[in-house]
Amino acid sequence: MSAINRRSILEVLTKARLLELARQFKLDVITSWPKAQVVDALTDAEEVSLRELLGVAKRDELKKICKAHDLDTSGREKQ
Protein backbone atom coordinates (compact mmCIF):
# COMPACT_ATOMS: atom_id res chain seq x y z
CA MET A 1 0.00 0.00 0.00
CA SER A 2 1.32 3.42 -0.90
CA ALA A 3 1.63 6.12 1.75
CA ILE A 4 -1.27 8.53 2.00
CA ASN A 5 -0.15 12.15 1.92
CA ARG A 6 -1.32 15.41 0.41
CA ARG A 7 0.54 14.88 -2.85
CA SER A 8 -0.75 11.33 -3.35
CA ILE A 9 -4.32 12.54 -2.78
CA LEU A 10 -3.99 15.54 -5.08
CA GLU A 11 -2.46 13.52 -7.92
CA VAL A 12 -5.69 11.49 -8.13
CA LEU A 13 -7.82 14.57 -8.79
CA THR A 14 -8.46 16.27 -12.12
CA LYS A 15 -6.77 19.55 -12.99
CA ALA A 16 -10.16 21.29 -12.94
CA ARG A 17 -10.79 20.06 -9.39
CA LEU A 18 -7.28 21.06 -8.31
CA LEU A 19 -7.88 24.59 -9.60
CA GLU A 20 -11.18 24.67 -7.72
CA LEU A 21 -9.42 23.61 -4.51
CA ALA A 22 -6.69 26.20 -5.05
CA ARG A 23 -9.34 28.92 -5.29
CA GLN A 24 -11.12 27.53 -2.22
CA PHE A 25 -7.88 27.70 -0.22
CA LYS A 26 -7.16 31.19 -1.67
CA LEU A 27 -3.94 30.19 -3.42
CA ASP A 28 -2.53 32.12 -6.35
CA VAL A 29 -2.43 29.66 -9.23
CA ILE A 30 -2.71 30.25 -12.94
CA THR A 31 -5.16 28.16 -14.95
CA SER A 32 -2.57 27.60 -17.70
CA TRP A 33 -0.22 25.85 -15.27
CA PRO A 34 0.25 22.14 -15.90
CA LYS A 35 -1.49 19.82 -13.43
CA ALA A 36 1.82 18.94 -11.74
CA GLN A 37 2.49 22.60 -10.94
CA VAL A 38 -0.98 23.03 -9.40
CA VAL A 39 -0.35 19.89 -7.31
CA ASP A 40 2.97 21.42 -6.19
CA ALA A 41 1.28 24.67 -5.16
CA LEU A 42 -1.37 22.85 -3.12
CA THR A 43 1.19 20.50 -1.57
CA ASP A 44 3.48 23.37 -0.60
CA ALA A 45 0.68 25.43 0.97
CA GLU A 46 0.87 25.09 4.75
CA GLU A 47 -2.81 25.98 5.11
CA VAL A 48 -3.87 22.89 3.12
CA SER A 49 -3.77 19.92 5.49
CA LEU A 50 -4.42 16.28 4.76
CA ARG A 51 -7.50 16.44 6.99
CA GLU A 52 -8.86 19.48 5.11
CA LEU A 53 -8.32 17.83 1.73
CA LEU A 54 -10.19 14.72 2.80
CA GLY A 55 -12.89 16.88 4.36
CA VAL A 56 -13.67 18.67 1.10
CA ALA A 57 -13.32 15.61 -1.13
CA LYS A 58 -16.46 14.44 -2.87
CA ARG A 59 -17.63 10.85 -2.53
CA ASP A 60 -16.39 9.77 -5.97
CA GLU A 61 -13.04 11.45 -5.27
CA LEU A 62 -12.74 9.59 -1.97
CA LYS A 63 -13.36 6.32 -3.79
CA LYS A 64 -10.63 7.15 -6.33
CA ILE A 65 -8.26 8.10 -3.51
CA CYS A 66 -8.98 4.84 -1.69
CA LYS A 67 -8.49 2.82 -4.88
CA ALA A 68 -5.17 4.56 -5.61
CA HIS A 69 -3.98 3.60 -2.11
CA ASP A 70 -5.27 0.01 -2.25
CA LEU A 71 -7.96 0.69 0.35
CA ASP A 72 -11.46 -0.78 0.43
CA THR A 73 -13.87 1.21 -1.73
CA SER A 74 -17.03 -0.69 -0.83
CA GLY A 75 -18.30 1.88 1.67
CA ARG A 76 -21.81 3.12 1.10
CA GLU A 77 -23.23 6.56 0.74
CA LYS A 78 -24.34 8.48 3.85
CA GLN A 79 -28.03 8.18 4.50
Q: How far is the C-alpha of 37 from the C-alpha of 44, rounded, in Å?
A: 10
19-54 pLDDT tens trace: 999 999 999 999 999 999 999 999 999 989 999 999
18 sits in which H/E element: helix 15-24
pLDDT, residue 72, reads 86
Q: Given a cut of 80, is residue 78 above it in pLDDT?
A: no
What is the pTM for the complete model shown? 0.84
pLDDT, residue 77, reads 67
